[in-house]
Structure 1
Amino acid sequence: MELPLLRFASCFALITLLACGPTAPEEVVDAGSSEVSEATYQEPHRPQIHFSPPANWMNDPNGMVYHDGEYHLFYQYYPDSTVWGPMHWGHAVSTDLVHWEHLPVALYPDSLGYIFSGSAVVDNDNTSGLGQNGEAPLVAIYTYHDPEGERAGRDDYQYQGIAYSNDRGRNWTKYEGNPVLPNNTGIRDFRDPKVSWNTAAGQWVMALAAKDRISFYGSDNLIDWEHLSDFGTDQGSHAGVWECPDLFPLPVTGANGESKYVLIVSINPGAPNGGSGTQYFVGEFDGTTFTVDPSFAEDVTDEQGVWLDYGRDNYAGVTWSGIPEEDGRRLFIGWMSNWAYANVVPTERWRSALTVPRQLTLHQTPAGYRVFSQPVRELEQLRTDEFTIPEGEESANRGLSDRFSVPANAPKELELRYALSPDSKARFGVELANGKGEVYRIGYNAASGHYFSDRNSAGPATFSEDFVGDLELAPRVMDGAEVSLHLLIDRASAELFADGGATALTEIFFPTEDFNQIRLFTEGDGVRLLEGKGYTLTSIWPQLDR
């Protein structure tokens, strides 16, 4: 988790401003309040199928862990304002990854500092000794950020602490011996621990962002940590500070038991379409050292990166720990915003949402190993009023507004499959519009071989000059004559999963009034719709589903 503009020379003024915070909203809503009213989730731009706090500021997802039938979601939270400030861990739980129950703040700042990003695990064997009555504790591992140390110009103001819970995550106790990993590295950016149990090594392994690299640490008990190795100073993009790592194994789909390790690393700035973004590496981890696969290495040399999502609004995402073996999925969620403008987007009661939960899978593609992203299957329960779109060239240009159920601004899902002729230069996709003449487009450009998102006309962007400009582009990973577009459209966002999830592109937008018109468009020849399905989606929030 990075402070806004942390990369620039002096953070003193920023910390002073944000620690004090602007005037709080007139109405402050406790994130754990049971009174999540219809008004709370019907404000302009409020997501209906994405997690967002009832009020105030949110950024990185933290501490995601599955335990005792519940998916826990913690997140960077400032309960006193709608801009970044002293960080807490907000908390919510779900039994299905779709509908969320807000719980009270889990971790508050203390004398050691703000509570920055981190992870949580189920300590099944009570290696920490923090469990009670034979029950496995939940243990959270997080970064302390000491603003006083930063203002004093110290280099050791970020260090790692732990907290534990013995009541299913409802109450947390900070370890009295914190910090468990002091900062004696001389590196200021020393944060965002992601911890997992490594069976081969027989110990806990921590991936920790350290400015321009990922440092790995090992522990038998989650308390005493030993440095194992470093990775990355000469691989991947270093246009900004590295943060929010995650290390996990993934089987290669269809490869008869082959498995690789994936290392996710967020970076700010330096993303391919500007601002913050998330790159990844594919390779091996032997319990001590991560090594990039030789076939992947050529893609991450000379400051090149391979990106998990090419849109501008998927950052700091990590995966859930503790998923049962019988499920076996690698489940991911990200922050649906960008540090280039997150503090100033035009929402009044709250700021920021998260992406939909996604399943990550690893595939061998024409471009090499690539991580695919797909919406989790649990989201299908939101579908209502399914309809089909006839095959044919004429179907690639048709209005769909009358095919979706009312209200017109309800979330929508589209699954589209197109055939391209070998010489097609067509540009095609989905267009959203409203009565104000505002338009958003997302689709594929056969001439350039890129997916694109165009929010330049999707509403006023006077709040930030970084919000509009060049089209956001995503290279096509797969080849072949068929192109598929899977779209999830909420009131102020679009998520594209193209070619079965080989390319992901996530964007937010802020029209003056909700988009209430939708159509397929095609510019150019040589494209034919092979198959199309659409669904109206219900809200994930109580009493707001139709």
Structure 2
Amino acid sequence: MMSNKSGYGFDFRYVLGLFLLLSGYVNGQEIDRKAQEYRPMYHFSPAKGWMGDPDGLVHYNNTYHLFWWGHAVSKDLVHWQEMPRPMKEGMGFSYFSGSVVVDKMNTSGFGKNSMIAFYTKHLPGDSLPETQAISISNNEGQSFDYYQKNPILDINKVFFRDPQVFWYEQDKSWKMVVSRPDVQQVHIYQSSDLKNWAFCSSFEGLGAKNSFWECPDLFELPIEGSNEKKWVLIIGRGPNRVQYFVGNFNGKTFVTDKKIAEYLSVGQGIKGSVFEDFEGKNLKWPKFAEEHENKVSGVTDYLGKHYLSTENASATVFRSKSQPFTISTKAINFLLIGGNHQDSTCINLLVDGKVVKTTHGDNTKVFKWNGWDVRSWMGKKAQLELVDLSKDTTTGFIAIDHIVFSDQLSNQHLEHALWLDYGPDYYAIRTWRDYDIKNGLTDTVHAIGWMGNWDYARKAPSKWGKGFQSIPRVMTLREMPSGWRVFQQPIPQLPQLRDSGIHQQLQLKGLQSLKNFKPDVNSYELDATFTPGTAKAFGLNLFVGEGRKLALRYDPQLGELTLDRRNCTNFNTDTAFTKSFAKKYAVPLALDKGSLRLHIFVDRSSIEIFANDGENVVSATTFAADAQTGLETFSEGGNTTLNIQAWKLKSIW
């Protein structure tokens, strides 16, 4: 192989493969992406095949690299060129998720500015230990050579994966965060040469702990309006969620900020007033109160040390009522687990002795937030009733924790955690490290995630391949009353895709089509600010057509945004896919200075919503038919003012 002055090697097979990819060919056939159903127009997707977690995000020599053990490059994070696959095939193992570093000082001995890929070496059968391995590139990621002395880290555990490696300038060493998924731990290691690693510490015990922890990342984020930064640890909670923690990192140990720890462990700072958390002596359940410390084997994600459960109680039939109270807030929220047995394992709201609201469990032992809209009974005397009449020995119980009276509804059916995204399709988040500067960390942190969900990813209806990436985001920190929160915005380079657009102010009442904006393909951007008047609810219907739609609805009194895709996709021939996909999602979100701003990016098979300048984000795949290009506005029970800008977005291909 011969080299040119830049250090790139010229291999005829590589150059031919690169030409075919950049020319839009697969197997000798030209790709017409617009003709491929569900193919994104401006989200990156490979020409063919599977695309899952983003890996190896580095910026080097003015080029952004995106690996998924395929490879793509970009100058602006918007337009991408897919490169030939860089990893050696036929090695007898699978390349699981990982990262890439640029060894600018040749600490490894593999060569100055060598790119080193870290990944989990996963052997067939899913029963052998996972180990961490490396491959080396001396041609800026065009190809990687397998390191013959692999593995570089082996702790003899079946589940041990997803190494993220970065340079830590303070002690001039490399750090690795890697997950122990089945025991919900993130381990931190350090190395001076990228080949020999020493254990430093582990992080565990906070946030959502009921499922696999995967794809960790640890980085500094700038605090808005200051020159300071805080460290953020993000962790994927399988199959489709990402949680985060804010704190301090000293090179060996990550410690969560005190306010964040109190919020996650005991609920300090939750909006509203706590009616009962089962931690004190003055329980609101006089009967069976002595059994409030009962613990159920395998239960996770309760707050504090205690909760009220019926499983291990001595009585065979439960009908236990709380002390009476007067309904003075718009919502009652609570954490709940137990059997999915209507009327026999449930919590009830009683008004005048009658059941007016009821909720049962979901047949799991994972506490999740549930809530009721109780505006209809404001000022009424009420009681809560815990009911267990079930004879089911497996899920025949009910348990509650942390009952909160609030003016904001919390009915998202998620664990108590800090979620990076409230939608069902944003997972395995990674951040770019910038090796064009000294230590790889800049004041601008770019992130990207897989727009997929392991509940149905392999059943997605796209025939050109499976999986694509989100639009890249910029993340910052903002201090809120209950602690630091991550805010996210779309990257500022995206407006270059804007084509024709509109800007108008509308008075909404009832249902109507959006005026003067008629995209011929679902590739557009909306920036919509709603100011409620007398309306009880308002929102947008997108992907409208053929009797289907995706509905975004906001209730300004309850502070709840919902995304409803139960009747969105035209793919309805796979009942297993439909059961997992066709759902409604809720986001707790208060008005910001009397208004709601939704910055929305619609692509042919996805939607991403940045609410109130990125306070909360909702990402979802849609898989709507190409004919579903209609847009509607609605305002229920009164009027709403809408100030909206809309642009068609050009394809990046």
Q: Same fold (TM over 0.5)?
A: yes
- Residue matched to 1:16: none
- Residue matched to 1:446: 556
How far apart are 1:443 and its partner, in Å? 4.2
| Cα separation, partners in 2 of 1:65 and 1:299, compared to 1, 3 Å | same
1:118 aligns with 2:98: yes
1:99 aligns with 2:79: yes
> Which sits farther off after the overlay, 442-451 or 136-145?
442-451
- Residue matched to 1:388: 503
1:249-303 CA distance string (max 9 Å, x none) = 112111x33321100100114xxxxxx2111111111111011101111332272
* Preserved contact between residue 606 and residue 619 of structure 2 (Cα < 8 Å): yes
Distance 2:107 2:627 in 1: 51
* Preserved contact between residue 445 and residue 451 of structure 1 (Cα < 8 Å): yes
* Preserved contact between residue 55 and residue 97 of structure 2 (Cα < 8 Å): yes
* Preserved contact between residue 88 and residue 144 of structure 2 (Cα < 8 Å): no
User: Which amino acid counterpart does residue 511 of structure 1 have in structure 2?
Assistant: A
User: Which amino acid counterpart does residue 277 of structure 1 have in structure 2?
Assistant: R
How far apart are 1:225 and its partner, in Å? 0.3
| Cα separation, partners in 2 of 1:175 and 1:395, compared to 1, 3 Å | farther
User: Which amino acid counterpart does residue 421 of structure 2 have in structure 1?
Assistant: D
* Structure with the greater alpha carbon radius of gyration: 2
* Preserved contact between residue 429 and residue 441 of structure 1 (Cα < 8 Å): yes
1:173-228 CA distance string (max 9 Å, x none) = 122211111123xx321000001111123211101011211000000111110000
1:128 aligns with 2:108: yes
Distance 1:109 1:236 in 2: 38
Distance 2:18 2:587 in 1: 39
Distance 2:442 2:172 in 1: 23
Distance 1:142 1:478 in 2: 43
1:359 aligns with 2:474: yes
How far apart are 1:509 and its partner, in Å? 1.3
User: Which amino acid counterpart does residue 400 of structure 1 have in structure 2?
Assistant: L
- Residue matched to 1:64: 57
User: Which amino acid counterpart does residue 500 of structure 2 have in structure 1?
Assistant: D
Write the mapping of 1:9-408 to structure 2, written as runs, cut at 5 A.
33-36=21-24, 37-75=30-68, 89-111=69-91, 113-131=93-111, 135-148=112-125, 150=126, 153-154=127-128, 157-184=129-156, 187-211=157-181, 212-232=184-204, 234-254=205-225, 256-269=226-239, 276-301=240-265, 303=301, 304-322=416-434, 324=436, 328-390=443-505, 392-394=506-508, 398-400=512-514, 402-404=516-518, 408=520
1:430-468 CA distance string (max 9 Å, x none) = 43311x111111242224312221111113444214434
In structure 2, stretches of 5+ residues that fail to align are 1-16, 25-29, 267-300, 302-415
- Residue matched to 1:472: 585
1:132-190 CA distance string (max 9 Å, x none) = xxx41111111100115x3xx44xx2111111211121121122211111123xx3210
1:521 aligns with 2:634: yes
- Residue matched to 2:13: none
User: Which amino acid counterpart does residue 362 of structure 1 have in structure 2?
Assistant: L
| Cα separation, partners in 2 of 1:201 and 1:524, compared to 1, 3 Å | farther
* Preserved contact between residue 413 and residue 489 of structure 1 (Cα < 8 Å): yes
User: Which amino acid counterpart does residue 149 of structure 2 have in structure 1?
Assistant: G
User: Which amino acid counterpart does residue 224 of structure 2 have in structure 1?
Assistant: T
* Preserved contact between residue 444 and residue 450 of structure 1 (Cα < 8 Å): yes
> Which sits farther off after the overlay, 394-403 or 532-541?
394-403
Distance 2:435 2:491 in 1: 14
* Preserved contact between residue 56 and residue 350 of structure 1 (Cα < 8 Å): yes
- Residue matched to 2:648: 536
How far apart are 1:492 and its partner, in Å? 1.2
User: Which amino acid counterpart does residue 393 of structure 1 have in structure 2?
Assistant: Q
CA RMSD of aligned residues (A): 2.3
Distance 1:203 1:383 in 2: 43
* Preserved contact between residue 30 and residue 54 of structure 1 (Cα < 8 Å): no
1:349-376 CA distance string (max 9 Å, x none) = 2111111111111111344311111111
How far apart are 1:45 and its partner, in Å? 0.9
1:472-529 CA distance string (max 9 Å, x none) = 1122166531210000001111100000011100011122443221122222335322
- Residue matched to 2:622: 509
User: Which amino acid counterpart does residue 92 of structure 1 have in structure 2?
Assistant: A
* Preserved contact between residue 137 and residue 164 of structure 1 (Cα < 8 Å): yes
| Cα separation, partners in 2 of 1:372 and 1:166, compared to 1, 3 Å | same
- Residue matched to 1:432: 543
Distance 1:522 1:285 in 2: 48
| Cα separation, partners in 2 of 1:116 and 1:168, compared to 1, 3 Å | same
Distance 1:161 1:532 in 2: 50
How far apart are 1:395 and its partner, in Å? 8.3
* Preserved contact between residue 122 and residue 322 of structure 1 (Cα < 8 Å): no
In structure 1, stretches of 5+ residues that fail to align are 1-28, 76-88, 270-275, 542-546
1:413 aligns with 2:518: no
User: Which amino acid counterpart does residue 238 of structure 1 have in structure 2?
Assistant: K
* Preserved contact between residue 247 and residue 263 of structure 1 (Cα < 8 Å): yes
Distance 1:389 1:177 in 2: 63
Distance 2:481 2:640 in 1: 22
User: Which amino acid counterpart does residue 364 of structure 1 have in structure 2?
Assistant: E
Distance 2:242 2:469 in 1: 14
* Preserved contact between residue 31 and residue 54 of structure 1 (Cα < 8 Å): no
* Preserved contact between residue 521 and residue 626 of structure 2 (Cα < 8 Å): no
Distance 1:321 1:398 in 2: 46
Distance 1:445 1:497 in 2: 17
> Which sits farther off after the overlay, 365-374 or 290-299?
365-374
Aligned residues: 476
Look up the SS of the partner of 1:525 in the other structure.
strand
| Cα separation, partners in 2 of 1:104 and 1:404, compared to 1, 3 Å | same
* Preserved contact between residue 537 and residue 553 of structure 2 (Cα < 8 Å): no
User: Which amino acid counterpart does residue 475 of structure 1 have in structure 2?
Assistant: P
- Residue matched to 2:14: none
> Which sits farther off after the overlay, 361-370 or 59-68?
361-370
Question: Percent same amino acid at aligned positions?
Answer: 34
| Cα separation, partners in 2 of 1:32 and 1:450, compared to 1, 3 Å | farther
* Preserved contact between residue 30 and residue 55 of structure 1 (Cα < 8 Å): no
Distance 2:636 2:531 in 1: 14
| Cα separation, partners in 2 of 1:97 and 1:355, compared to 1, 3 Å | same
How far apart are 1:51 and its partner, in Å? 0.6
